[in-house]
Structure 1
Amino acid sequence: MSLKVESLTGGYSRIPVLKSVSFDIADGELIGLIGLNGAGKSTTIKHIIGLMKAFEGTVQIDGRTINEDPETYRRKIGFIPESPLLYDELTLKEHIEMTIMAYGLERDRAWKTANHLLDLFRLTERLDWFPNDFSKGMKQKVMIVCAFIIEPSLFIIDEPFLGLDPLAIRDLVQLMEEHKRNGASILMSTHVLANAERICDKFVVMHNGEIYAMGTIADLRKHFDMPEATLDEMYGRLADREGF
């Protein structure tokens, strides 16, 4: 079991945003984390990657918690945030070098992986470019390249399709599927539900800081009592409950 979230309660103040959230991700499994804005998806991710401390409950990656071994725990995560976070003064090549040093990667092997990814996302000729030279989609590709260089056991990907062109979306999906086959686990938060329905093995549906539904698309249809519904249609039912 790569990720195990158990009875996670937490938030930004004394009043919890998350209320006893529990789910897990097996090796080689892609889980879609979905829900309305404010459902608790981003807060859940922040607790998993260690940016927030839980009031109660535990998060384990490969059996380790962040309190037991913070450095090893964080090295197990490849995180792609919704908004690209790059250093204006560093070139693409320097971002890759920094990632290699920060994670203690073997340089030749890491650059072999990086060159494959750069070619895949059509960035090979952009190594000397600075972030200000990139479009939002290209910045997102840089974040993807840096995350996949790490070859972690758990990928956490927040809204990965925003800003990407159709070719890049296709290539990212293929990359995720390849790493799944090699045993990596993926938690993906997204509002692009058609893509999520097509590629995710299971789903965690959050609502008001709690798990509202969980399981395969068939499990969700049973929970929502919508036997033929798409994920978009079930999401619409959830929105109707809130009066959107």
Structure 2
Amino acid sequence: MEQLLEIQIKRAGYTDEKNAIRDISFSLKEGELAGLIGPNGAGKSTTIKAILGLLPVMDGSVIFCGNKRYAYIPEQPVFYNDLTLWEHLELAASAYNINQVVFQERSSRLLRLFRLDGVRHYLPATFSKGMQQKVMLVIGFLLKADIYIVDEPFMGLDPRAIRDFLILLQQERSRGAGVLMSTHALDTAEKVCNSIILMSEGRLIMKGSLDEIRKTCGLREGSLLDCFNKLLEDSP
């Protein structure tokens, strides 16, 4: 499988005096769904910001192999107050330089998938949290990127939207896209991720498949939560 993204972060943060994250090293391959896992405050979102070049302090390297296109879906939805949902999509299509015919087909399909077709001419700023999150998913998947970087996507989504999102992720992976997904929903991550990156207190504590992590922890039938707790107990 082709390598899409290579991460080597020695240290990164918001000031020179304090490292928010340190010693983070992993890669993302074609068709891979890598779960960036950890409790609140573990450094998951900060790691994503470092990858995207959004931190003022960064010592390390982030390589998008072969100039791969990426789409970022943030944890907190961001909208222009005076633009409708459809106008947001048109703006994204313009930024992505998407052909008008392709844009019409993709946007209509995604709006139907997430049951937003009836509100395409409404203001997302007035939507519920769950609807706003679905809008961000539609915008993110509009590009058909090589790499998807998704931060806590399940927050506010109802079970049907989660199912639709996971089906869409699988379709994108089937054509070769890689996904880096930050979440603290360990039960879901255990089911859908084929590689796991475990973080705690700003550092990487383990990476690999669930079976590899179970073997390291000595928990042959353990859940991801069991393994994570065991690693925390054993860490210095």
TM interval, short-chain normalised: over 0.9
Give 2:7's aligned amino acid.
V
Change (3 A) 1:199 1:128: same
Give 2:88's aligned amino acid.
H
Q: Deviations over 1:52-101 (max 9, x none)?
A: 2553210011245xxxxxxxx7xx22111111111111100000001011
Q: Which residue of 2 aligns with 1:85?
A: 78
Give 2:12's aligned amino acid.
G
Asked if 1:61 corresponds to 2:64, the answer is yes
Q: Which residue of 1 aligns with 2:152?
A: 159
Asked if 1:148 corresponds to 2:151, the answer is no
Query: Counterparts of 1:53 and 1:59 in 2: how far apart (Å)?
Result: 15
2:229 to 236, 241, 244: 236
Per mean C-alpha deviation after superposition, the further-off stretch among 215-224 and 49-58 is: 49-58
Q: Deviations over 1:84-137 (max 9, x none)?
A: 111111100000001011121112102211111101011111111112331111
Asked if 1:39 corresponds to 2:42, the answer is yes
Q: Which residue of 1 aligns with 2:33?
A: 30
Contact 2:9 2:58 (C-alpha < 8 Å) held by counterparts: no
Q: Which residue of 2 aligns with 1:67?
A: none
Per the alignment, in what secondary structure is the counterpart of residue 150 of structure 1? Answer: coil
Per the alignment, in what secondary structure is the counterpart of residue 207 of structure 2? Answer: strand
Query: Counterparts of 1:126 and 1:29 in 2: how far apart (Å)?
Result: 33
1:123 to 103, 116, 120: 116
Per the alignment, in what secondary structure is the counterpart of residue 88 of structure 1? Answer: coil
Query: Counterparts of 1:103 and 1:137 in 2: how far apart (Å)?
Result: 25
Per mean C-alpha deviation after superposition, the further-off stretch among 209-218 and 47-56 is: 47-56
Q: Deviations over 1:218-239 (max 9, x none)?
A: 1111222222111122233456
> Which ranges in structure 1 are unaligned for 5 or more consecutive residues?
65-72
Q: Which residue of 2 aligns with 1:6?
A: 8
Contact 1:213 1:223 (C-alpha < 8 Å) held by counterparts: no
> Which ranges in structure 2 are unaligned for 5 or more consecutive residues?
none
Query: Counterparts of 2:46 and 2:66 in 1: how far apart (Å)?
Result: 21
Per the alignment, in what secondary structure is the counterpart of residue 98 of structure 1? Answer: helix
Contact 1:35 1:206 (C-alpha < 8 Å) held by counterparts: yes
Change (3 A) 1:61 1:31: same
Asked if 1:112 corresponds to 2:94, the answer is no
Per the alignment, in what secondary structure is the counterpart of residue 128 of structure 1? Answer: coil
Paired residues, number: 232
Per mean C-alpha deviation after superposition, the further-off stretch among 29-38 and 11-20 is: 11-20
Change (3 A) 1:54 1:4: farther
**Percent identity at matched positions?**
40
Give 2:25's aligned amino acid.
S
Q: Residue 16 of structure 1: CA displacement?
A: 1.8
Asked if 1:216 corresponds to 2:209, the answer is yes
Per the alignment, in what secondary structure is the counterpart of residue 142 of structure 2? Answer: helix
Contact 1:8 1:54 (C-alpha < 8 Å) held by counterparts: no
Per the alignment, in what secondary structure is the counterpart of residue 145 of structure 2? Answer: coil
Q: Which residue of 2 aligns with 1:194?
A: 187
Give 1:24's aligned amino acid.
S
Change (3 A) 1:229 1:42: same
